[in-house]
Amino acid sequence: MDIHTAYLSIGSNMGDREDNLRKAIKILQDNDDIEVTGCANIYETEPVGYDDQPYFLNTCLELKTTLDPYSLLKVCQKIESDLHRVRLIKNGPRTIDLDILLYDDLISDDPILTIPHPRMYERAFVLYPLKDIMDYKGKIPEDKSVKLIDKPYI
């Protein structure tokens, strides 16, 4: 079975945000088809897309996986439902959000799963953690909406 490299963005802005991130990472680590090979710092970030909601904690992960992109998406969606994500407001608060940013060098414009993630290169809350775990060649603009949470992680 081929082993693929994927990068995920994770975010939470409801309940115990850090615990939600950790629970999601633990579920991924416990999946026999996934190995978590990189874990970025945690950042506290201003909400984007819908202003009237709490600040997020965001991070990114590097995975090695035998799953194809759609099976990986299913795993992410199951984690969102297991951690009680409820969709009330578009772009609104959520206990957990897992987005597939990159999968090898795949380019897919399928509306169900667009890879690379269509807005990732504009979002400081994605780029700051991502640059912790991959050698990102692009320039990352300074952005005061993203603050490193300076403490040991896992």
Using alpha carbons, select from 133, 152, 143, 138 the residue that is nearest to residue 59: 133
The entry of ligand X6L, Mg ion, none near residue 58 (CB within 5 to 8 angstroms by kind) is: ligand X6L
**Known catalytic residue at 19:** no
Rounded to the nearest whole angstrom, what is the least distance from the CB of residue 85 to ligand X6L in the complex? 12
Task: At 117, list the tokens.
Answer: 């993630």
Q: Which two structure tokens, joined as six digits, stand for 5?
A: 């490299």
What span, in angstroms and rounded, lies between the C-alpha atoms of 135 and 19? Answer: 28
Is 35 a binding residue for ligand X6L by CB under 6 A? The answer is no
Q: Shortest approach of Mg ion to residue 50 CB, angstroms?
A: 12
Q: Considering only residues 50 through 109, tell me which ones interact with ligand X6L, judged by CB under 6 A.
A: 56, 58, 91, 97
36: CB partners within 8 A, 6+ apart: 25, 28, 29, 61, 62, 63
Site for ligand X6L, rule CB under 6 A: 11, 45-49, 56, 58, 91, 97, 119, 125
